[in-house]
Amino acid sequence: MKLYMLLGLFILSNSVFANCPAWLNHSIDRLHSNKTVNLCEVVQNKPVLIVNTASHCGYTKQFKGLEALHQQYKTKGLVVIGFPSDSFNQEASQEAETAEVCYKNFGVSFLMSKPILVKGKAAHPIFKTLNQQQGEPAWNFNKYLVDANGQVVKRFDSWVKPSASALTKEIEAVL
């Protein structure tokens, strides 16, 4: 009986990954933590808003709006993930400072990764896919909306605030 239960759990856990798009089948390191998160487990059958962020950018204040989106839509299934990046030379040099900006200054509770690259040949594989489908980000705080099937729906430029009706309408359409 125990063997069957273990096999059932193994099959169930593998089916989670079978439904996950390959481009999201990555583990990411959480910001200022020794914990790793498998994105397939986090985003399975849920829409996702992926954002390339930076601690020292004119758009850094958008963390507050992203947190508001997270709070407003998390019970409906939306997952918000921030990926700090120094691709535009606007990220803090120390991960602890990045964490302070996110968690202390803006009260971020959504998933944040350790800093990664979001453009060019060295871009993280997630952003390579996003870039192929929607173009490379020209700056920080580009927002990529992904539906529950892992299809990239739309990219919103940096200047589009998290509270913009164009963004919230698209989010509501994929919920």
Instruction: Choose the catalytic residue: 20, 40, 57, 102.
Output: 57
What phi and psi, each to the nearest 5 degrees, are found at residue 129?
-65, -45
Residue 57 is a catalytic residue: yes
144 three-class SS: strand
What separation in angstroms does the CA of 110 have from each of 43, 69, 114? 13, 10, 13
Q: Are strands 143-146 and 111-112 parallel, antiparallel or unpaired?
A: unpaired
DSSP 161-173: -TT-HHHHHHHHH
| Separation of alpha carbons 121 and 55, rounded Å | 23
The residues that are catalytic are 57
